[in-house]
Amino acid sequence: MELRAAVAEDIPAVLAFWKVAAEDTNRVGDDAGAVAALIARDPDALQLALDGDAIVGCLIAGFDGWRCHLYRFAVHPGRRRQGIGRLLLDAAEERFRALGARRADAMVLEDNTVAHRTWAAAGYEQQPEWRRWIKRLGG
């Protein structure tokens, strides 16, 4: 198992992986251009777990200089419960600590109860007083 940051050449494989392993795959903006922009802006944000050449897990660990956000966390359905998610989360949290961060938050779909258990097992707590608000900006 290898953990490493995604590079531009990984983009097609990442998009294909999300269609197999990620929830809510119909998001506006999940395209090659958006992933390329992420990699260009923060080359260490999109972390991949690889078994040989195959992506078996990924997590975006974004840091804007103030807050840490975890999203697009996915493990291949056939490889879940093997510690891949824990490796990705541990690496993300270590990255955040090295950047001086004091808190991380995760975006998790309300209906994804499997993910709720995963996040809780990793020590994350749901904040019931918060709800995400979005506005589409075109595209």
Task: Tell me if 50 sits within 8 A of 2, measured CB to CB.
Answer: yes
Give the CATH number for residue 68.
3.40.630.30
pLDDT at 25 over 60: no
Whole-number pLDDT of residue 107? 83
Mean pLDDT of 99-105: 90
83: number of Cβ within 10 Å: 14
For the chain, give the number of residues. Answer: 139
The total domain count for the chain is 1
Write the DSSP assignment of the chain as a string of letters: -EEEE--GGGHHHHHHHHHHH-S-TT-TT-SHHHHHHHHHH-TTSEEEEEETTEEEEEEEEEE-SS-EEEEEEEE-GGGTTSSHHHHHHHHHHHHHHHTT---EEE---TT-HHHHHHHHHTT----TT----------
User: Does 79 map to a domain?
Assistant: yes
Per-residue model confidence as pLDDT tens digits over 43-74: 999 999 999 999 999 999 998 888 899 999 99
User: Does 73 map to a domain?
Assistant: yes
User: Does 55 map to a domain?
Assistant: yes
User: Does 6 map to a domain?
Assistant: yes
User: Does 112 map to a domain?
Assistant: yes
Mean pLDDT of 104-118: 85
User: Does 127 map to a domain?
Assistant: no
User: Does 129 map to a domain?
Assistant: no
Domain that holds residue 101: 2-121
Look up the pTM and report it.
0.87
| Number of alpha carbons in the 13 Å side-chain half-sphere of residue 127 | 8
Whole-number pLDDT of residue 131? 76
Whole-number pLDDT of residue 67? 85
Please list the residues that pair with 104 across neighbouring strands. 68
Average pLDDT of the residues of the chain: 89
Mean pLDDT of 7-21: 95
User: Does 136 map to a domain?
Assistant: no
pLDDT at 20 over 60: yes
Task: Tell me if 57 sits within 8 A of 84, measured CB to CB.
Answer: yes
CA–CA separation, 37 vs 115, rounded Å? 27
